[in-house]
Amino acid sequence: MEQNKALRSGVLAHLTENLPGNLFKTSLDDWRIVSVEETPLLMVYLEDGELDSQYMESGEKYSGVLQVSIYLGTGTTDALLDEMGEQIKLAMPVAHRIEGLATLYRRGFRYERSEDGVYRALHLNHIYRLE
């Protein structure tokens, strides 16, 4: 699963290099439970992958779903999530290629709000195809 690790860390490195330096307090190339003290937080993680038949003759390569998620703490708004989401979209536009790694196609988004109001999140969903 080295390809998965390379994809997550490659996307996070690309975003870190192309986003304003003070946008996120914490950045992770993995999914885990978030503490409010770490927000605003950028998280890059994989949902799933499947063997891509296009690559059957050139080794084991996958396509699947990659999430880029923004988490904010108490007292924030969807408007702030939207502003930060726009920065992600500028850094990683639709059909964005990270050379030698993958092409990512944004396919949608989803908001998440904790019932107790402790956090809110914006998840940008991407289909990826490894190179």
pLDDT by 10s per residue, the chain, length 131: 788 899 999 999 999 999 988 899 999 998 888 888 889 999 999 987 676 666 556 666 777 899 999 999 988 999 999 999 999 999 999 899 988 889 999 999 999 998 888 999 999 999 998 88
Distance separating alpha carbons of residues 13 and 116, to the nearest angstrom: 32
Task: State both tokens at 12.
Answer: 């996070």
Cis peptide upstream of residue 40 (ω within 30 degrees of 0): yes
**Full-model pTM:** 0.88
Query: Which three-class secondary structure state does DSSP give residue 90?
Result: helix
Residues in the chain: 131
Q: Report all structural domains of the chain as residue ranges with CATH numbers, in order of start.
A: 2-130 (3.30.70.1700)
